[in-house]
Amino acid sequence: MATIGMAVARDFEDSEFVIPRDRLQAAGHTVVVLGAAVGERIKGKRSEQVAKVDLAVSDADPADFDALVIPGGYSPDHLRLDPKMVAFVRKFGKGDRLIAAVCHGPQLLIEADLVSGRRLTSWPSIRKDLEHAGGHWVDAPVCVDGNLITSRNPGDLEVFSEAIIDKLAANSNSANVGWQGRA
């Protein structure tokens, strides 16, 4: 099974964290929460969920992960100001592994220079930002462009989560590396 990083900072959209995480874990995958500091407890935007950081991004190696999920809310806007997170995402994206971003999640992909020439969707308010960064925006519940999966909003989380699970299954012929719980 795959090891998946979830990049979070304060004010993530609660459902965009918990639904994909739960679906991925139910499918047998390991989900590792990446953030600024190990053990940090981060509240969601609606204060319905708390994410506990398993691994500081400064200690994370993109090679240890098969996929990266970026929930939306205000979290991606905070994450794009963290040079270590941006460097991690950029390096991860250059490795041609699966990246999935929902709602405002593609803001972090813009900062990591990973949207030019790609077809993707998002929350409508960042459409122009994506287009200015060279992306081709579409209005669809889920958009798959190679190993990039994007989705618009919490209403699309079921198809978003299913697309991630399907893509991981399709990629299962590649070696899964696994995170060893180091901290």
| Residues labelled catalytic | 103-104
In angstroms, the first-to-last Cα distance of the chain is 21
In eight-state DSSP terms, residue 38 is: T
Cα dihedral 119, 141, 17, 95, rounded to 10, equals -20
Phi-psi region of 116 (alpha: psi -120 to 50; beta: other; left: phi over 0): beta
Token pair recorded at residue 108: 């972090």
Placement of tokens 């509240």 in the chain: 43
